[in-house]
Amino acid sequence: MSPSLSSFVEAYREAGRIAAEVRERAKRLVRANKRLIEICDRVEGWIMELGGAPAFPCNLSINEVAAHYTSPLGDRSVVPDRSIVKVDLGVHIDGYIADTAVTVCLNPEYEDLKRAAEEGLQAAIEVLRAGIRASEVGAVIERKIREWGFKPIRNLTGHRISKYNLHAGEVIPNVHSRLCRQRLAVGDIYAVEPFTTLPTAAGEVVNGAWGHICLFQRKRPVKGRTAKEMLSFIRSSYKTLPFAERWVLRRFPSEVGKEAFQELLRSKCLHTYPILVERSRAPVAQAEHTVLIRENGCQVLTEL
């Protein structure tokens, strides 16, 4: 490996080690009646303590919510009794990102649903190598999940990662798909993330309420002085990575901050992601690792 290749791999590895450590700690933090904002803040705080930066806000997605929930400022919601909770977190070091997720079951009824997502991920890891088509990986994931008696979510996918780019174009589906014919190459970084739901469910997500995860979209004229300052803070701090409304409002407190944030949304400088909900409101589980594609296999970067 050339020195430049090995040094970027080292940054990905370090991001992966931090992500794995924080994921294991987060698992122990999720308990019924725990405040969601406390979990989000702790997860993001640990990432920074360990020398990384959050690559996106901590996602806490409960029951039929599959992805993209993070706490707003002042969130009073708590982990419900007997729920199934997906904790999805990202770490970056100089823009090199590791993305990983785990499901915590507070209801033993969902253990197999969670297990099916983990087994789907494991089956994918066993076949990932340079030259395989993304569609073939999707077929392997789907087969494993169906073996367990569950259904994959067909419109959520794994994704290639590049520097400062969480969703770098190419995807790895969670189902057998005629699309996604691209072959993986040595040195590619991919997040693989099977989502499972009940066999009787729709097996797809739809947009729910607007969430609190944002992305800088484009530079547009803004009037307010605070809005201008806020925009330059966002661009220099998060660049092209998703960020939490909560992070910005803590930096720009009070009504002035809220108003400036609204102005950035209205002017379309920022984009907000909707929460993704399983269409038939069935419970969803997820497992995710970030991997480095090698000649004859893959290296899991987010393993402890």
The residues carrying an active-site annotation are 88, 99, 159, 167, 193, 288
DSSP state of 35: B
Cα separation, 109 vs 78, whole angstroms: 20
Cα separation, 44 vs 114, whole angstroms: 24
58 binds Mn ion (CB under 5 A): no
Nearer Cβ to Mn ion, position 99 or 188? 99
Let me know the angle formed at the C-alpha of 75 by 70 and 81, rounded to the nearest 5 degrees.
80
Map the footprint of Mn ion across residues 88-127, applying CB under 5 A.
88, 99, 101
Question: 108 phi and psi, to 5 degrees?
Answer: -60, -20
Nearer Cβ to Mn ion, position 57 or 203? 57
140 binds Mn ion (CB under 5 A): no
Cα separation, 82 vs 131, whole angstroms: 43
- Report, in Å, the least distance between residue 167 CB and Mn ion: 8
Nearer Cβ to Mn ion, position 85 or 269? 85
Among 191, 260, 298, 300, binds Mn ion (CB under 5 A): 191
263 binds Mn ion (CB under 5 A): no
- Report, in Å, the least distance between residue 144 CB and Mn ion: 19
Helices (H), the chain: 3-29, 36-49, 111-127, 134-147, 225-238, 245-251, 254-266
Number of residues that bind Mn ion (CB under 5 A): 5
- Report, in Å, the least distance between residue 174 CB and Mn ion: 12
87 binds Mn ion (CB under 5 A): no
Q: Which of 267, 302, 87, 285 is nearest to 194 (CA)?
A: 285
- Report, in Å, the least distance between residue 90 CB and Mn ion: 6
List of residues contacting Mn ion (CB under 5 A): 88, 99, 101, 191, 288
